[in-house]
Amino acid sequence: MDFFYIHLLNAFLSAATLFLIAGGLSLIYGVMRIVNLAHGNLYAFGAYVTAWTLGRLLAGASTPILYLALPAGAVGAALLGAVLEPTLLRPFYKRAEEYQLLVTFGLLMILGDTMHFLWGPYPLSASALWENSGSVMIAGNPYPVYNLIVIAIGGVAAVFLWAFVYKTRFGVVLRATSQNMRMASALGVNVNRVYVLAFTLGCFMAGLGGAIIAPSQSAVLDMGVDALVLSFIVVVIGGLGSLEGALVGALIVGLVREAGIAWFPEIELAVLYLMAAIVLLARPAGLFGRAS
């Protein structure tokens, strides 16, 4: 029973990462109606940038500096997103949805090999930060402090995002554009700018998700593809386009996965997909989604 708290914390850990990725995916869909299949690779890009920054660029630096440099991955992913949106995605807003899926799939392949090209086929690790943060005793078992910090970052990000979307003026513009793009445009909103910013924000979140787990799990090729499917499960459960949905979905997926790993390792993944299918059958728009 002592392990219960460890499992709970691990669940929160994966939920934190999943929330960031799925939240970004959901945000991009909510505002732009684009399902970004390459989102997983933006997460991976964030992980690689952070791993490279912490592992190569700043190797041997002191722990506080490494912590400050942690969001490097998020910034990198955001910049990448800001470049990609006007060039690759904008031509597709007027076209059928199928084409967006195709172009983001192509983007996924391109990004995957770009990372391969930039950082080689081997995992890139930056474990200094994770190791040096020490561990703390929880219910009689040691638990890495770094994981607790990651959970905290996830929580802070959730609060920050909520505040951003619901309490700031830009958040109002964002929500207006997502609800009715033409009306917002008619009222004077520069939709193109909103789209770029929304996409950049979504990429920032994905990159942050990658950045925070880079020290504990190293950046590997293909981590993006695996993460993408999980984040799809999260948005299916929580509802596409909803941040609260992404949070709840991430918590559910994190908890179920951890329970699965602890007790039924064989069907751990299958249970998740089945859960997604059940949610889709019962509430097609997801728990918090809109019926659009």
Partner 1 sequence: MLLGYGLVMAIAALGFNLLLGYTGLLSFGHSAFFGVGAYAVAMMVKYLKVGSMELFLLGAIAASAFTAALFGVVCVRYTRIFFGILTLALSQVLWSLAFKFFWVTGGTDGLRVPTPTLLGVMTGRGDKMDFIAHYYYYYILAAFFACVALMWVIVNSPFGKALQSIRDNEIRAEFVGVQVRRHRWVAFVVSGLFTGVAGALWVPLNGLITPENLHWTFSGKIVFMTVLGGFRAFPGPIVGAVLYTYLEAYAVGNTVYWQFVLGTVLVVLVLSLPTGVVGTAARLVERWRGREA
Q: Contacting partner 1 (CB under 8 A), which of 3, 4, 99, 160?
A: 99
264 burial (CB, 10 Å; 0-12 / 13-18 / 19+) is exposed
Is 3 or 99 the residue whose CB approaches partner 1 more closely? Answer: 99
Q: How far is the CB of 131 from partner 1 (least distance, A)?
A: 30
Q: Which residues pair with 138 in a beta bridge?
A: 141
Burial of 63-88, coded b for 16+ CB within 10 Å and e otherwise, reads: eeebeebbbbbbbbbbebbbebbeee
- Chain-centroid distance of CA 146 in Å reads 19
Q: Could you identify the residue written with the tokens 């964030």? A: 46
Angle among Cα 287, 200, 245 to the nearest 5 degrees reads: 10
Q: Is 31 in the site for partner 1 (CB under 8 A)?
A: no
The total number of residues shown for the chain amounts to 292
Q: How far is the CB of 103 from partner 1 (least distance, A)?
A: 5
Task: State residue 223 phi and psi, 5-degree precision.
Answer: -65, -25
Binding to partner 1 (CB under 8 A) within 265-284 occurs at 265-270, 273-274, 276-277, 280-281, 284
- DSSP reduced 3-state for 219: strand
Determine the Cα–Cα distance for residues 55 and 128; give it in Å rounded to an integer: 8
Q: Is 116 in the site for partner 1 (CB under 8 A)?
A: yes
Q: Contacting partner 1 (CB under 8 A), which of 57, 62, 106, 141?
A: 106
Is 259 or 269 the residue whose CB approaches partner 1 more closely? Answer: 269
Is 187 or 270 the residue whose CB approaches partner 1 more closely? Answer: 270
Q: Is 95 in the site for partner 1 (CB under 8 A)?
A: yes
Query: What are the tokens at 68?
Result: 């400050």
* Binding span for partner 1 by CB under 8 A among 75-83, 93-101, 179-187, 191-199: 93-101
Is 109 or 136 the residue whose CB approaches partner 1 more closely? Answer: 109
Is 108 or 246 the residue whose CB approaches partner 1 more closely? Answer: 108
Determine the Cα–Cα distance for residues 215 and 229; give it in Å rounded to an integer: 22
- Applying CB under 8 A, which residues contact partner 1? 35, 88, 91-92, 95, 97-99, 101-103, 105-114, 116-117, 225, 229, 232-233, 236, 240, 265-270, 273-274, 276-277, 280-281, 284
